[in-house]
């Protein structure tokens, strides 16, 4: 850490500094002595300081110097050391904004205490500043990026239900972050130290399902040449994540329901049951309610896992999160690839904003990785994005200078608004351009130029 920088104001300059012991201790710090209020003000103007110390030997000067320092810098921690302390001077100094008022005769230690206190307050402010800046960066929650109202609602539910062991059903289109939700719930629960066991229900061959889920004893079936623990048992104490739960065959749904209700499993071929303590988080991109109606998913299992539901919004409903995520993925990909890339061009953002993102965050992530890999520029542009995305995003209004990429048709809206305003204005003044310009507080020339840009003719408003 850098040395604290201390500005001392003393009418006699460095030579006259009365607190020798303290100066010795302060020496390793960055210490500077000014003799006048003006000199101090100039130093405060020029450089950044951690602490100001005013020393005075004449009654009355202390408060004046303190006030001068304070008016040059409203924030600087300030301590006054007075050789002729009076109650009135103390009050004046403190009113002028000094953090401390000490008498010169008091032990060096007291002064040092005050310095330490003020400096640590300054450091705390620095730390708070760093924190504040960190907070101002895009809002993140357990690996999630995004500050749209829809996502904030999701964070809030995760926050509320994570600690309880309640089972959760996570729904949402592909690539919306369902697994991220499951991991966040696990991470924020008392089970965090125990295993998080993801099971892709669509990827296990039917014939192996039972033994995968519940385990088996040696010789339970041909090929079972040893005992094996099932995934449910493996998740004991932790979280079982049933991904794409809608893919489970009906026969297994019944067995799973039993296990979840009894909290006991029986390995295939075993006589005895083992008790297990698992929290179940299930996810699906299918419409489970519809599957229940059609008899493709057991109603009782559905009720069992649908205690709390978290529905992830599709990316196209998350507003400016698209921009945030794109920026983040671009920087991360650039880092991984060792390229210098900062953000994307405004036109590229417009394409991303216009596109519908059927593959949601995962699709965005891949598109951005590709753009960063392809680009020869420091700000990847439309031509670096996958053609299908550009084509599907449709025509994009060219962004003008100073135009904000997140509002693709802003220029259009502004132009329409401007024309409407001018039309009303001219109508009100019956085409009298001078009167209209005065009313709008515009130079006449400017008004003429705007009328020309919008093909408006004053004569048309005369009657
Ligand atoms: N809000 C987000 N912020 C940052 N990264 C995200 C966010 N949402 C998703 N991701 C990332 O996008 C990818 C897809 O997320 P995830 O695997 O959780 O989606 P999913 O809903 O399970 O998808 P699928 O249904 O296809 O399995 C992951 O790499 C994940 O880290
Ligand atoms: Mg998934």
CATH of the domain at 127: 3.40.50.2300
pLDDT beyond 90 at 27: no
What is the rounded distance in angstroms from the CA atom of residue 85 to the CA atom of residue 310? 67
Query: What is the model's pLDDT at position 250?
Result: 94
pLDDT for res 106: 66
Is residue 95 situated within a structural domain?
yes
Q: Is the CB of 176 inside a 6 Å radius of any atom of ligand 1?
A: yes
State if residue 246 touches ligand 1 by the CB under 6 angstroms criterion: no
- Mean pLDDT throughout 212-241? 87
- Report whether 367 contacts 356 (CB < 8 A): no
**pLDDT score recorded for residue 406:** 40
Indicate which CATH number applies to the domain containing 177: 3.40.50.300
User: Could you say which ligand is closest to the alpha carbon of residue 176?
Assistant: 1
Residues 222 and 121 in one domain: no
Range of 364's domain?
A: 316-393
Quote the ligand 2 centre to 282 CA distance (angstroms).
10
> What are 32-69's pLDDT values in tens digits?
888 899 999 999 888 888 888 888 877 678 888 899 99
Does residue 399 lie in a domain region?
no
pLDDT of residue 101: 84
Looking at the structure, tell me whether residues 209 and 273 fall in a common domain.
Answer: yes
| Ligand 1 site, residue 365, Cβ cutoff 6 A | yes
Residue bearing the bigger pLDDT, 154 or 454: 154
Tens-digit pLDDT profile for residues 248-257: 999 999 999 9
> What pLDDT band is residue 26 in, cutting at 50, 70 and 90?
low
Helix (H, G, I), strand (E, B) or coil at 283: strand
- Whether residue 405 lies inside any domain: the answer is no
Atom 29, ligand 1: residue with shortest CA distance: 362
Residue 371 lies in a domain: yes
Higher pLDDT, 364 or 89: 364
Tokens 């099971």, located at residue: 199
Is the CB of residue 146 below 6 angstroms from any atom belonging to ligand 1?
A: yes
**Selected residue with higher pLDDT from 209 and 412:** 209
Q: What is the pLDDT of residue 136?
A: 47
Provide the percentage of residues in the chain whose pLDDT is more than 70.
83
Q: Which of 282, 311, 340 is a domain's end point? A: 311
Nearest in space to 10 (alpha carbons), one of 27, 31, 24, 29? 31
Contact 244, 200 (CB under 8 A): yes
Run of H or E including 215: strand 215-216
pLDDT band at 350 (very low <50, low <70, confident <90, very high): confident
- Report yes or no on 11 lying in a domain: yes
Q: Quick check: CB of 362 below 6 Å from ligand 1? A: yes
Residue nearest atom 28 of ligand 1, based on CA coordinates: 362
pLDDT at 183 over 60: yes
In a domain, 403, yes or no: no
pLDDT at residue number 457: 87
Residues 299 and 264 in one domain: yes
Instruction: Place 304 in a pLDDT band, splitting at 50, 70 and 90.
Output: very high
Q: Report the pLDDT averaged over residues 89-95.
A: 86
The pTM is what? 0.60
Pocket probe mutation, ligand 1, options 143, 148, 173, 175, max atoms within 8 Å of Cβ: 175
Same domain membership, residue 433 and residue 296: no
Tell me if 428 CB under 6 Å of ligand 1. no
CA of 149 relative to ligand 1 center, distance in Å: 18
128 and 12, same domain (yes or no): yes
Which of 121 and 96 is assigned the larger pLDDT?
A: 96
The answer to whether residues 325 and 283 belong to one domain is: no
Q: What is the pLDDT of residue 20?
A: 59
Question: Does 423 share its domain with 386?
Answer: no
Residue 398 lies inside a defined structural domain of this protein: no
Contact status, residue 77 vs residue 119, Cβ threshold 8 Å: yes
- Asked if 191 and 246 sit in the same domain, the reply is yes
Q: What is the mean pLDDT of the chain?
A: 83
- Domain edge (last residue) among 393, 421, 442: 393
Confidence of residue 3 (pLDDT cuts 50, 70, 90): low
Structural domain total, the chain: 4
Report residue 113's pLDDT band, with 50, 70 and 90 as the boundaries: confident
| pLDDT of amino acid 17 | 61
Lowest mean pLDDT among 106-120, 333-347, 420-434: 106-120
Task: Give the model's confidence band at 344: pLDDT under 50 very low, under 70 low, under 90 confident, else very high.
Answer: confident
User: Quick one: 289 and 173 in the same domain?
Assistant: yes
Tokens of 335: 């880092």
Question: Rounded to the nearest whole angstrom, what is the distance from the C-alpha of residue 182 to the centroid of ligand 2?
Answer: 10
Range with the poorest average pLDDT among 107-116, 338-347, 424-433, 439-448: 107-116
Signed CA dihedral, 416, 417, 418, 419: sign only: positive
**80 and 162 both lie in a single domain:** no
Q: Does any ligand 1 atom lie closer than 6 A to the CB of residue 318? A: no
CATH number, domain with residue 334? 1.10.8.60
Q: Which atom from ligand 1 is nearest to the alpha carbon of 145?
A: 3
Claim to verify: residue 292 and residue 150 sit in the same structural domain: yes
Residue of 139, 168, 180 to test ligand 1 pocket, by largest number of atoms within 8 Å of CB: 180
DSSP characters for 334-361? HHHHT----S--HHHHHHHHHS--TTHH
Atom of ligand 1 nearest to the CA of 176: 21
Answer with the one of 135, 168, 197 that is the final residue of a domain. 135
Q: Assess whether the C-beta atom of 174 lies below 6 angstroms from ligand 1.
A: yes
Ligand 1 atom 15: residue of nearest CA: 177
Q: Does residue 306 sit in the same domain as residue 340?
A: no
Do the domain assignments include residue 402?
Answer: no
């Amino acid at each position: 850490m850098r040395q604290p920088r201390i500005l001392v104001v003393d009418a006699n300059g460095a030579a006259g500094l009365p607190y020798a012991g303290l100066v010795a201790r302060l020496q390793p710090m960055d210490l500077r002595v000014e003799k006048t209020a003006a000199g101090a003000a100039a130093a405060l103007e020029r450089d950044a300081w951690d602490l100001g110390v005013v020393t005075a030997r004449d009654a009355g000067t202390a408060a004046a110097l303190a006030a001068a320092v304070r008016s040059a810098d409203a924030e600087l921690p300030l301590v006054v050391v007075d050789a002729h302390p009076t109650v009135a001077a103390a009050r004046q100094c403190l009113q002028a904004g000094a953090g401390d008022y000490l008498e010169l005769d008091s032990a060096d230690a007291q002064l040092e205490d005050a310095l330490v206190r003020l400096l640590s307050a300054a450091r705390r402010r620095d730390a708070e500043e760093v924190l504040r800046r960190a907070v101002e960066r895009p809002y993140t929650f357990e690996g999630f990026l995004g500050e749209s109202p829809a996502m904030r609602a999701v964070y809030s539910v995760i926050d509320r239900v994570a600690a309880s062991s309640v089972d959760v059903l996570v729904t949402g289109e592909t690539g919306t972050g369902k697994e991220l939700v499951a991991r966040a719930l696990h991470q924020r629960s008392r089970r965090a130290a125990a295993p998080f066991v993801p099971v892709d229900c669509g990827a296990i061959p039917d014939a192996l399902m039972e033994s995968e889920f519940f385990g088996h004893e040696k010789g339970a079936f041909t090929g079972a040449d040893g005992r094996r623990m099932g995934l449910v048992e493996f998740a004991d104490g932790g979280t079982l994540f049933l991904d794409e739960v809608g893919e489970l065959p009906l026969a297994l749904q019944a067995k799973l329901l039993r296990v979840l209700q009894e909290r006991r499993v029986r390995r295939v071929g075993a006589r005895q049951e083992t008790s297990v303590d698992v929290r179940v988080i299930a996810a699906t991109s299918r419409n489970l309610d519809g599957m229940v109606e059609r008899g493709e998913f057991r109603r009782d299992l559905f009720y069992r896992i649908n205690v709390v539901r978290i529905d992830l919004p599709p990316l196209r409903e998350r507003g400016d999160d698209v921009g945030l995520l794109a920026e983040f993925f671009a920087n991360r990909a650039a880092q991984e690839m060792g390229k210098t890339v900062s953000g994307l061009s405004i036109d590229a953002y417009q394409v991303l904003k216009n596109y519908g993102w059927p593959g949601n965050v995962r699709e965005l992530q891949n598109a951005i990785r590709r753009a960063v890999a392809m680009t020869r520029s420091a700000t990847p542009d439309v031509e670096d994005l996958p053609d299908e995305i550009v084509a599907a995003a449709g025509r994009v209004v060219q962004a003008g200078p100073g135009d904000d990429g997140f509002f693709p048709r802003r220029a259009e809206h502004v132009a329409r608004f401007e024309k409407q305003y001018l039309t009303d204005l001219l109508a009100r003044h019956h085409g009298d351009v001078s009167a209209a310009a005065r009313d709008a507080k515009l130079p006449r020339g400017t008004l003429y130029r705007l009328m020309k840009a919008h093909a408006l003719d004053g004569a048309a408003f005369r009657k």
